[in-house]
Amino acid sequence: MSAEPIPTGADDSGTTLSDCLRNWRDELASIAREVWAPIAREGARTISISFSAFGTAISRVEYDGETQLCSIPPDSADTARLVASALSQAGIRPRSTDVAITLPAGEVLRPRVRLPYVPHRAIRSMLGYELEHLSPLHLEELYFDFRVVARERKANRTEVDLRIIKRNVIRDALKVVHAAGFSVGAILFEHDELPSDWRHFPVDRIGYLRRYWRRQGVVLLAGLSILLLITVGLGAYARGAAARDSIEDQIETERLEAVQVEHIRHDIDSAHAQIEFAAAQKMKQPSLLTILSGITGALPDGTWLTSLKVEGKKIHAQGYSHAASDLIGLIDRSPQFANAQFNAPIMQSSNKLDRFDITFDIKTGAP
C-alpha cells in the first residue's frame, strides 16, 4: 500500500501566492482595457502640420490612423489664419492640443561624419567645428542634431549621421503655428520617423512635455500600478515566508529535541545492556571464595600457595609442596579445574619442599 504525499506548507504558500499574482494580473489587464486604453488613444491623438513646396497640409493623427483635415496652397496670403480656421472647424482648441510640424526632406542635409574616438558629451562640440567645412552658412544660421552610428576605441573612430537645416526654414514654420495659437511639441522631417532632438531644436518646452506625457504617461501609470501590485505581492509573500520560516523553525526545534530524546533512550538501553551483560558474566564467573575452596580441596596436605592470580578463566598459582609432581593429576581430576600444566620446572627448596609454578583453567559451568 503506497502512501500519498502530504503537501507541505511551502507548496501551499507557493500556490496561494501564484493564485494571488494571477488574480492581480487579470485585474491589471482589466484596468488597462477599461481605463488606460481610452487614455492611450487620447495620448496618441495629435495634429500634424506638414510644410512643403506644394503647400501646407493639416492632418489629425489618432490611435488608428491619420485623417487629413485640409490642404493650404503655398501662395496663400495668410497661412496662419487658415490653419487656425481649419483646426477650429475640426473642434481642435489651441490649449488642448499640441502640433507636430513636419519639414520637407529637401531642406535637410544628412552627411555622415567621421571623428576621432571621443566621449559622447564631446561629440557635439567637435561637430560644430566640422560644420564650418560642411556648410557655407555660419553655425548660428543652422540647427542640427546627430545620431552615433559607430564608436570604436581601438580604431580611434566615431561615426555620426548629421541632420542639418537652416534656421529660417524652422522659424517660418514655427511662426505659422504660433500665430494660429498652437504650441509645437515636436519637429519632424519628411521620410524620417525619428523626431528632432528637442534639446537643440526650438521645440516649445510646454508642448513637448504635454506631448511626452500623453504618449508616455500611460506607460508610466501602468508601470506604477504594476510596481504597486508587485510591492503588495512581495509584502504578502514576505509575511507568508516569515510565518513559514517560523513554523519550520519550530518543526526543526521539535525534531532536534526528538533526536536528543532518542539518543538518551539509546544510551539508557546501552547502559541496561551493559549492566545485564556484567550481571550475566558475574553469574557465569565463580566467586573468588569458590575458586579458593576448590583449589584447597584439590591440593594435597603439605602444600602451600604463595601466589594466586585469577584472570578470567585462567588461574596462575605458585607455592611449595611435598609432592609437586602429583599436582597436575590432582587438579585435572577436580570437578572445577582442567588443563593444568607447569610454567617452570619444579625446584627443591632448602627445606626439602618442591617449589612449583602452575596454571590451569576453570571449567565452564563449574560451581
Residue 165: which of 191, 188, 193, 194 has the closest Cα?
Answer: 188
The pLDDT, as a whole number, for residue 11 is 46
Residue 107 and residue 179 in one domain: yes
Q: Is residue 100 part of a domain?
A: yes
Instruction: Establish if 58 belongs to a structural domain.
Output: yes
**b/e code 138-156 from CB counts within 10 Å (16+ = b):** eeeebbbbbeeeebeeeee
pLDDT of residue 238: 75
For residue 271, what are the CA distances in angstroms to 258, 266, 282, 285? 20, 9, 16, 21
Closest CA to 353 of 312, 324, 315, 326: 324
Same domain, 267 and 300: no
**CA–CA separation, 52 vs 172, rounded Å?**
12
> Contact at 8 Å (CB) between 107 and 164?
no
**Cα separation, 314 vs 18, whole angstroms:** 78
Q: What confidence score (pLDDT) does residue 1 get?
A: 42
Looking at residue 20, its pLDDT comes to 64
Residues 292 and 274 in one domain: no
Say if residues 100 and 47 touch (Cβ distance below 8 Å): yes
Locus of grid cell 563449574: 366
Digits of tens for pLDDT over the chain (367 positions)? 444 444 444 444 445 556 666 676 676 666 655 555 555 555 556 888 999 888 899 888 876 677 888 888 887 778 888 888 888 888 887 766 778 999 999 999 999 999 999 888 899 988 988 888 878 888 889 999 999 999 999 999 999 999 999 999 999 999 988 888 888 889 999 988 889 988 899 998 877 777 777 666 556 666 676 677 677 767 766 777 777 878 888 888 888 888 888 888 888 888 888 777 766 666 565 677 778 888 888 888 888 888 888 887 888 898 988 888 888 888 888 888 888 888 888 888 777 788 999 999 888 765 6
Is the domain of 264 the same as that of 144? no
d(C-alpha 312, C-alpha 294), whole Å: 16
Check whether residue 272 and residue 185 sit in a common domain.
no
* DSSP label of 363: P
Is the distance from CB of 103 to CB of 167 less than 8 angstroms? no
Is residue 55 located within the same domain as residue 172?
Answer: yes
Residue 3: what pLDDT?
44
Q: What's the CATH number where 185 sits?
A: 3.30.420.380
Give the angle subtended at the CA of 119 by the CAs of 118 and 125, to the nearest 5°: 75
Same domain, yes or no: 315 and 279: no
Nine-digit cell string for 258: 526528538
Range of 304's domain? 288-362
Residue carrying C-alpha cell 510646454: 206
Give the residue among 16, 13, 11, 24 at the shortest CA–CA distance from 230. Answer: 24
Q: Are residues 107 and 134 in the same domain?
A: yes
Ranges assigned E (strand) in 167-235:
184-189
Which among 194, 190, 148 is positioned nearest to 169, based on CA atoms? 190
Provide the domain count of the chain: 3
Q: Which of 236, 263, 284 is the last residue of a domain?
A: 284
Verify that 189 and 257 share a domain, yes or no.
Answer: no
Residues 71 and 190 in one domain: yes
d(CA 307, CA 359): 11
Rounded Cα distance, 52 and 108, in Å: 12
- Give residue 161's pLDDT: 93
Q: Do residues 86 and 58 lie in contact, with contact meaning Cβ atoms separated by under 8 Å?
A: yes
Is position 79 within any domain? yes
Task: Give, for 342, the enclosing helix (H) or strand (E).
Answer: strand 337-342
Is 61:92 a contact under the CB 8 Å cutoff? no
Instruction: Say yes or no: 86 and 191 in one domain.
Output: yes
In the sheet with 46-52, reading across from the earlier edge strand, the strands are 65-72, 55-62, 46-52, 99-103, 184-189
Q: Is residue 221 part of a domain?
A: no
Crossing angle of helices 205-284 and 37-44, rounded to 10°: 140
- Do 354 and 321 contact (CB within 8 A), yes or no? yes
Instruction: Let me know: does 110 contact 99? Beta carbons within 8 Å.
Output: no
The answer to the question of residue 235 being in a domain is no
